[in-house]
Amino acid sequence: MSTSEKIWMNGELLDWQNAKIHILSHVVHYGSSTFEGIRCYDTEKGSAILFLDAHVKRLYQSSKIYRIEIPYSEEELKEAIIATIKANGHKACYIRPLVIRGQGALGVNPTMAAIEVAIATWEWGSYLGEEVLETGVDVRVASWARLAPNTMPTWAKAGGNYLNSQLIKMEALMDNYAEGIGLDVNGYVAEGSGENIFVIRDGIIYTPMTGQSILPGISRNAVMTLARKFGYQVQETLIPREALYIADEVFMTGTAAEITPVRSIDKYPVGDEKRGPITEKLQSAYLDVVRTGNDPENWLTFI
């Protein structure tokens, strides 16, 4: 990954190489962190952060679920994000706010560990590759299932939750796929390792329900809003695995992945093995906002 000049940590802008934690920090041993992935785009109207309010709100909600009290207000954290971008001179970047349990406890009980907060920004292109926004990606159904309900809180974007995502991602890459699709505990389609999924058949857009142990994605919500605005029917429902193999179009969404079409699943071709018309229409509308800065949905925070 590329590096930047500064990282905001516990209220100070530090040099990148000096933003450190102790090896006995609770997070190192138990995955006790919450985080967000946010994008800042270099639009025609200037640099703008996409969905800033929603991302910061979710960070606080994730932390609340894990009983972590962030020692800054939401407004203070937003100001720190903007200050970090400016300190690094970015016009466009990826933003990683991170909340961790640090030193003070080294057992399963984390309550004596100090809470530390950091914000890093760096330049990062398309998560799955620029060209795949048009050509699509090849994916597989993972052998690893997503987390079962009442085991870990999947509505929280927490570090330890992503051990499951790592297994799905590594398995896919080892088999020469770009991404894996996790099924839920009952065998229905859930999500990718770091993306939500949409399946289109006969003009209707289907997506898994948030009660299926998926992360309720911010980009997912934006795409559903766009789709309904365009007059498409969107159904949050159970999707059996075989529906993937007879879909007209499939695409994945996420802050990093944006809107990425899927051209094959388990070597079954999806549609014409290229970006379909509904995917293209939604993708075009989404990317138009972040490229031009024209923002009818009030998604952007200009800096």
DSSP 177-215: -SEEEEE-TTSBEEEESS-EEEEEETTEEEE--TTTT--
Residue 151 is encoded by which pair of tokens? 């085991």
Nearest-angstrom CA–CA distance, 303 and 300:
10
> Looking up tokens 């179009």, which residue turns up?
249
If phi over 0 gives left and psi between -120 and 50 gives alpha, with beta otherwise, what is residue 253?
Answer: beta
Residue 125: per-residue pLDDT: 72
Instruction: For the chain, give every residue range classified as CATH 3.20.10.10.
Output: 130-292
Beta bridge partners of 69: none
| Average pLDDT of the residues of the chain | 96
- When pLDDT is cut at 50, 70 and 90, the band that residue 130 belongs to is low
Residue 90 is classified by DSSP as: -
For residue 157, indicate whether it is catalytic.
Answer: yes
* pLDDT higher than threshold 90 for residue 63: yes
Kindly report, residue by residue over 90-121, the tens digit of the pLDDT: 999 999 999 999 999 899 999 999 999 999 99
Going by pLDDT thresholds of 50, 70 and 90, the confidence category of residue 66 is very high
Place of tokens 């509308």: 285
Judged against a pLDDT cut of 90, whether residue 141 lies above it is answered with: yes
Q: pTM (2 decimals)?
A: 0.95
- pLDDT, tens digit, 9 for 90 and up, residues 170-187: 999 999 999 999 999 999
Position 24 pLDDT exceeds 90: yes
Asked if residue 144 has pLDDT above 90, the reply is yes
pLDDT one-digit tens code per residue, 254-299: 998 999 999 999 999 999 999 999 999 999 999 999 999 999 999 9
Instruction: Look at the domain 130-292 and name its fold.
Output: D-amino Acid Aminotransferase; Chain A, domain 2 (3.20.10)
What pLDDT, on the 0 to 100 scale, is given for residue 131?
79
Q: Write out the residue limits of the CATH 3.30.470.10 domain(s) in the chain.
A: 3-122
H/E run at residue 141:
strand 137-141
Condensed to tens digits (0 to 9), the pLDDT of residues 201-253 reads 999 999 999 999 999 999 999 999 999 999 999 999 999 999 999 999 999 99
**Band of pLDDT at residue 132, cut at 50, 70 and 90:** confident
CA-nearest of 118, 297, 277 to 200 is 277
Residue 247 backbone dihedrals phi, psi, to 5 degrees: -75, 150
18-23 long-range contacts, CB within 8 A, separation 24+: 19/118, 19/120, 21/100, 21/102, 21/116, 22/102, 22/103
CATH code matching the domain that covers 3-122, chosen among 3.40.50.300, 3.30.470.10, 3.20.20.70, 1.10.1740.10: 3.30.470.10
Q: Which of 157, 229, 267, 274 is catalytic?
A: 157
**Structure token digits, residue 140:** 């597989």
In order of 29, 114, 118, 121, the CA distances from 22 in angstroms are: 11, 12, 14, 21
Per-residue confidence band for 87, with pLDDT thresholds at 50, 70 and 90: very high
C-beta of residue 286 within 8 angstroms of C-beta of residue 37: no
Q: What percent of the chain has pLDDT over 90?
A: 94
Helices (H) and strands (E) in the chain, counts: 8, 17
- pLDDT(128) > 60: no
